[in-house]
Chain A
């Protein structure tokens, strides 16, 4: 059913997209960190950056950007760190990021329950 665009992906392409870097500072971005663009694309900008800026006019999770660009999560994080460092996007971090090993706050869970009951 779902396409597997990366099977047989040309490693050279991933190398080019990231400028040869293989790792972003992973702790900066969660799979569900919401990315919001703070500017419009400019001429000459890398095409993946252009796509991210267009996608993120409304908050968009890292994992949705990864799916839309058909690029692995870690490659997308590298691209996003570039945009964060230059202020072209901002990040809304999940509340769980501060306490990854603890049980979630009961107040948060209560809100999740209310949201689910309304489905």
Chain B
């Protein structure tokens, strides 16, 4: 594979995470805006063998891997933005701090046919104190209004929701801009207070 290297002046890389259930379009969204074909890699999770039969004092450990995809956008001479597609499944959250501490913010990608898939992710993001927006991927089914989705997710009024088509570059770009605008508003509000 021919790699597309970063500029030699690149010095500050940032992270945005797109989280959602299986098949919701995370990689599609990343691909729509990324300057490289999305890549994938894995991280190891080791669990101590809690609740497993005592094997004669030998500590049992199970090792699993969690896979995730990513792409990137060069923002300027120094800054590059990495976009990660993260599965919303439960075991992934054990790795959140290790992989995604320092993330600017998060896009929760929702399929309106499976809204309940997002409840757990939103709960965990709130637990981790992450700022996020909700993007509703349009699968061509009956359209749900933003307010219907907000109610279904019990989201507070200050979390932005946006409809999108993750296959479209302009639409996916708008999702990212909506997130960063939201973060910017939060950040300037905080700076004014302090």
A112–B104 CB distance below 8 A: yes
Decide: A116 near B75, CB < 8 A? Known: A72-B42, A100-B102: yes
**Which of B1-9, B50-58, B106-114, B134-142 contacts the other chain?**
B1-9
Is residue B149 contacting chain A, with contact meaning CB distance below 8 A?
no
Task: State the majority secondary structure of interface residues on B.
Answer: mixed
| Shortest distance between the CB of B112 and any CB in chain A (Å) | 24
| Shortest distance between the CB of A16 and any CB in chain B (Å) | 16
A104–B11 CB distance below 8 A: no
B187–A104 CB distance below 8 A: yes
Is residue B188 contacting chain A, with contact meaning CB distance below 8 A?
yes
B11, B98, B186: the one contacting A103 at CB < 8 Å is: B186
**Which of A28-36, A39-47, A81-89 contacts the other chain?**
A28-36
B43: A residues at CB distance < 8 A? 72-74
B104–A26 CB distance below 8 A: no
B15–A112 CB distance below 8 A: no
B173–A119 CB distance below 8 A: yes
A119–B5 CB distance below 8 A: no
| Shortest distance between the CB of B135 and any CB in chain A (Å) | 15
Give the residues from 180 to 194 in chain B that come closer than 8 angstroms, CB to CB, to chain A.
180-181, 183-184, 186-188, 190-191
Decide: A32 near B104, CB < 8 A? Known: A73-B43, A101-B129, A115-B81: no
B39–A97 CB distance below 8 A: no
A109 to B191, CA, bound (A): 13
Is residue A38 contacting chain B, with contact meaning CB distance below 8 A?
no
B82: A residues at CB distance < 8 A? 31-32, 61, 63
A59–B81 CB distance below 8 A: no
A109 to B177, CA, bound (A): 10
Question: Can you list 15 A-B pairs with a CB-CB distance of less than 8 A?
Answer: A7-B65, A26-B98, A33-B13, A34-B6, A34-B10, A59-B7, A61-B13, A72-B65, A96-B15, A96-B104, A110-B184, A111-B75, A112-B14, A116-B81, A119-B173
- Other A-B contacts than A11-B63, A96-B104, 7 sampled, CB-CB below 8 A, are A58-B7, A67-B40, A95-B12, A96-B102, A112-B79, A115-B81, A116-B73
B interface residue numbers (CB < 8 A to A): 3, 5-8, 10-15, 27, 33, 38-44, 63, 65, 67, 69-70, 72-76, 79-82, 84, 98-105, 129, 131, 169, 173, 176-177, 180-181, 183-184, 186-188, 190-191
A interface residue numbers (CB < 8 A to B): 1-4, 6-7, 9, 11, 26, 30-34, 55, 57-61, 63-64, 66-68, 70, 72-75, 92, 94-97, 99-101, 103-106, 108-117, 119
